[in-house]
Structure 1
């Protein structure tokens, strides 16, 4: 689990878990994270009031050394499956590739905090609840349709057409962005920031975990979960070499269309590529991002060549994208799940 601390989502997971275990850590992170947040005092404000509605005198703020000491002395025996899942969900919920990371992400990336967080990462390595994080793509998985069972729909087919349309759109967008957008990465422009193709069947191995571990969620409260089975040539993305080699074999230039968003999220200025998924389908039937792969890689600027990098963005952890028509719905019943508003728990309604 050493790789957890290499990635922004893995570091955020460890920090969130530490906050769940100790309220003093939560308070310290609140203050220190605010001070490091790019939006502090503007898009993010700290308001304090006493019972009379007056602003109290400011309290002494915690220091980095004090937070590091709290994490170092943290009792890790209180780690439970529920706490790990909530921390993992928070790490996913706070991922953003179209603007600067939150102050808590900057905080977790400092050496003063990363070093003591190694204890948390090590404890996760030996926890039974995390063993599925290294699991490869399974033959039987679940596709999620964010609609109710009253609105049934078949799984999409013809991935070749979907990928051809995706490739056409990406290339046209890149040409348009090169003409219309400035090369200055600081310019206030935004657009496509994903590195994945849309419209394909994508599946997860675990339900209900897959319902709550979704980047940039739209707050869905209904989901139809479809049992599927698929096999073929499946590429596992676990290490940065796995993703980099895919980008080197099938590069698609996206510098103009991703430049501004990915500069904000990574701080890197230069050329960018993602996999040309239409071409990748000639060698691979599916690509699976393991949980550990997501936690260590997502949101990082990964070097493809001396002047070119890539980012895994918008790809939910543990998800398999099917590039060819090799996956089918099975005879098991579909399931209908409901996620009550403002609650973290998904409830099985029917189909078990």
Structure 2
């Protein structure tokens, strides 16, 4: 398998993107994934139910269920000449929207991770790599970017300042939470406990390079319909997260143990039982001004158990693809106008309302 294809299919979000794209291209694939994903979903029959009714209102006789081999054959024979940039963007949005790190993966993600389906998905991945829509996936952080404020233009707010204080508070709370969790939560990873699951700090300036695309690439979105995008200019020592080694090297250099506080959530999402670490972002700020997660890095890395050392691993969770986190006070609002965007209910696209 070619390196770019293997990288895309090595991560759960990359596999999901390819599966979503295949479903967009063929209705029979969508139906097969729906049935097979339902059977594999941990919530099947409980939090996720399938109801099929005939026009008369009575339950119809059960339909023949597709097999994994039949789905694999459909994907392998798929005609991909009709792939467009819009379809790739839509599949990327679905891959991001379905990410979850606080419970088991969806049935569709489990399905895409099986060898019987991952191999056929390489057929889709080959058609994706090299398209204009993917040209920016490995792009470095740009000097001019956009911060997103999920409020309307009628409620303006300045960009957050004093990242040193924010990171100090974050580090203090993380250590306190880890101590508390080690005392109050069981070591059994199957225990029904949940808590903090993200691996990045909140309250800092976070930016994306592309608008409006970045408005729809948000993990664990709350379904916002209003957004103000703020032009930001920033430069300095920017670490690019493209590969597993980029992330694990950062974790080794500035290691913060989070086993007790992340154990249960990350076991559910990765299946790994062991010690967990994330970067100590306060200490990382002594070396780096910002850290940028490329879209390609996100697709291959997010949601995986990434080996840091013989006994520890880490997860990239809660970090939107293509976004930059500013650790020091080097990012400023530029002279370009802010933009106000609106997402009409039940519409797929964001609309520019004003620029001022």
Alignment of 1:86-165 (within 5 A): 86-165=90-169
Match of 2:70 among 66, 73, 83: 66
Shift of 1:128: 1.3
| Superposed CA offset, 1:177-203 (max 9, x none) | 000000000000000000000000000
| Superposed CA offset, 1:106-140 (max 9, x none) | 00000000001001111111211110101100000
Q: TM-score, normalised by structure 2?
A: 0.98
Runs of 4+ in 1 over 2 A off after TM superposition: none
Q: Secondary structure at the match of 2:228?
A: strand
Match of 2:39 in 1: 35
Q: TM-score, normalised by structure 1?
A: 0.99
Unaligned runs of 5+ in 1: none
8 Å contact kept, 1:212–1:344: no
Unaligned runs of 5+ in 2: none
- Cα distance in 2 between the residues matched to 1:160 and 1:343: 40
CA-atom RMSD, angstroms?
Answer: 0.7
Match of 1:311 among 294, 310, 315: 315
Q: Secondary structure at the match of 1:54?
A: coil
| Superposed CA offset, 1:304-345 (max 9, x none) | 011110000000000000000001001111000001122220
More moved, 51-60 vs 271-280: 51-60
Q: Secondary structure at the match of 1:142?
A: strand
Q: Secondary structure at the match of 1:184?
A: coil
Q: Secondary structure at the match of 1:328?
A: strand
8 Å contact kept, 1:10–1:295: yes
Q: Secondary structure at the match of 2:88?
A: helix
Q: Secondary structure at the match of 2:137?
A: helix
Match of 1:187 in 2: 191
